[in-house]
Structure 1
Amino acid sequence: MSATSTRHDPFEALDAADFAFTRCAWVDAAPARVYAVISDVSAIGRWSPHATDVAFDKGAGPRVGAWFSGRNRRDGKEWTTRSQVVRADPGTAFGFVVGGAEDGIVRWGWTFRPQGRGTVVQQSWQLLRLDPVLGTTRADLDALRRYMTDSVEATLTALAEWLTEERSGRQ
């Protein structure tokens, strides 16, 4: 290798924008109710297979700029994340960025659209920047996206079931 050549880092060649997805589900509840449930981050453990112990900071709530913490688990590992609400439109949309709006790593978002007697919930996940903690190769990040897609699909299914049970009074 000559002094003028540089080494190419495959991680640097990846584009975070390639790692995103959206999934939808119909739930048996009005958009305002679905928003109230989703924006109450402390309830996420009811339907998320991988997040627990989520709570807003003292005095905070579902409003833009608010911070919260939560425990996550994957592949036998557990860690705590800090997230900041970046969108809070009651009955319409809710979103947060893991790591905060300024330097976050992942954006989570939900939109709520009325359909019939219920709501179409659209949940999205988007990698905002590359970070070695999430993986250093395309294969690592593809596996992460698949894992997160499976998690979102399980979450939406559990959310729909929970809201149906709530509506029928079986909770």
Structure 2
Amino acid sequence: MSELEFSDSVLIARPPEAVYDLVSDVTRTGEWSPICRACWWEDDTGPQVGAWFGGRNETPDRTWETRSQVVAAEPGREFAWAVGGRWTRWGYTLEAVDGGTRLTESWAFLPEGRERFVELYGDGAQAQIDERTRAARTGIPTTLAAIKAIAEQES
């Protein structure tokens, strides 16, 4: 795994189908993400490959919105999206295990995303990339713990 990729996992005492239904409902992302406060589908297609959704992110320093495209939607197995359609890839993979599901969240800063940051931030691009990398590395474990708590509470 490179410095611009990260993943972590958690065991959830729920079947993969139930966990998938939770994580693929992007309208609930604000319940577990430390940065993303809200997401919404841009149309009525829902969690299927090719669908687009918007998101609003907040940190103490700024607020911004993104558009993301679903790139994987296999119920009970994987749900993933690409911010901007090609800049960063976020996703969840689900594996049935004794007593429930191993949920893995992954993040990768894609080459086109790095190019986009150079266009946007010039000499400050690396600092911005480093900030996003830190946010992913600290946010993913926080997100997974929150998803586990919500999923197991809803059982």
| 1:40 aligned residue (25, 38, 61) | 25
The aligned residue for residue 65 of structure 1 is 50
The aligned residue for residue 90 of structure 2 is 108
Partner of 1:72, secondary structure, is: strand
TM-score (norm 2): 0.88
Identity between Structure 1 and Structure 2 (%): 35
2:6–2:136 contact (8 Å) kept in structure 1: no
Higher Rg of the two aligned structures: 1
Partner of 1:141, secondary structure, is: helix
| 1:136 aligned residue (118, 125, 143) | 125
The aligned residue for residue 25 of structure 1 is 10
The aligned residue for residue 75 of structure 2 is 90
Cα distance in 2 between the residues matched to 1:88 and 1:122: 15
TM-score (norm 1): 0.80
Cα distance in 2 between the residues matched to 1:113 and 1:161: 18
Per-residue CA shift, 1:68-89, capped at 9, x if unaligned? 0010113420111000000000
Cα distance in 2 between the residues matched to 1:136 and 1:64: 30
Task: Tell me how far 1:140 sits from its aligned partner.
Answer: 4.5
4+ residue runs over 3 A deviation? 132-135
Alignment coverage as a number of residue pairs: 147
